[in-house]
Copies of this chain bind each other. A is one copy, B any other.
Amino acid sequence: MNAPESFDAAVPAGKIMLVGIGPGSVEHMTARARSAIAEADVVVGYVTYIKLVADLLDGKEVVRKGMTEELDRAVSALDAARAGRKVALISSGDAGVYGMAGPTYEVLFQAGWTPEGDVAVEIVPGASALNSCAALVGAPLTHDFCAISLSDLLTPWPVIARRLDAVAMADFVVALYNPKSGRRTRQIVEAQRLFLRHRRADTPVAIVKSAYRRRQNVVFTTLAQMAEQDIGMLSTVLIGNSSTFVRDGLMVTPRGYANKYDMDEGGATRDGEKAGRSLSTGLNGWLEALQIDHAAGESVEQLAARHRLPIDYIRATLDEPLEAAAADLPEESEA
């Protein structure tokens, strides 16, 4: 990884470290995030993030960039690393989630960089805004979730709208990044409109601003009132799924234990269910029922409509034979 293309003892191999600093308090940075910044000769980043790690910057060259200069930041980092320096390029949250990792690799490839060359690249993972904000409001994620950016600066609106509609229909918990700005005020209204096609008006929504920072603020609201709330560029919006509830000021999405266990009766498994095994309506049980229902006269089209799945998918799964259940295998975690 650090083999220079031509041996030159005077110019050591450079390095770019893409560091996710988490929500922005030193407490919530990983040891590697801190050691990467400590190791760097040059630290590059948006001015707000640089301020968050001010205590680690003594003796380093610090490059503070403005808001629309992502590509410039990546170019600066490559220039410095090619000169043999170690550069830390910092992102809030996780560098791979709407952060600098993607743009940096795009710039590196454009500039002819390869991993076998003289500039090593390391990405240091961190907790993204959705993880940090979720930790402050309860346990809203728990189950299948999505992240969608409402920024249409680089993405056509219909692409974003189709994504919003798809995940609202399929009942995901959804984290909206870049929900609103001075210019972009209607995107959140459109998002609400699309969600209301599928979700109840009283679906819990949490709006978290500046998680783990000085001006942290958490507001609970509902889908119907989401667009009227105070939302800005430092906010993350968390929209619950159809099971999410708010109780005692905590937003919680159930994992689904109630599908298997009678939560009111001391946690006994319900009839036909077994701990550590697929639900009776899990894949194997569902495939068996599909075969039975089809043999009993329900057409492929009727089955597709009833299960709200594509016709060709129902047909293809009916055509494949069921495997015998594997009986002697260990149970697995239900988390």
Contact = CB atoms under 8 A, between A and B. Distances in A.
A167 interface: yes
Contacts of A261: 71
A22, A109, A247, A256: which has the most chain B beta carbons within 10 Å?
Answer: A256
A20 B127 contact: yes
A235 interface: no
Given A166-B169, A279-B155, A313-B161, A102 B70 contact: no
A64 B62 CA distance: 46
B96 A151 contact: no
Interface residues of A, number: 136
Contact of A97 (B131, B193, B284): B131
Interface of A: 20, 22-23, 26-32, 34-35, 46, 67-68, 70-71, 91, 94-106, 109-110, 114-116, 123-128, 131-132, 134-136, 138-149, 151-163, 165-167, 169-172, 181-187, 190, 193-194, 197, 233, 247-250, 252-257, 259-261, 263, 267, 275-279, 281-287, 307-310, 312-313, 316-317, 323, 325-326, 329-335
Given A110-B263, A156-B286, A190-B317, 7 more contacts: A30-B30, A96-B140, A103-B335, A125-B134, A184-B278, A186-B284, A233-B332
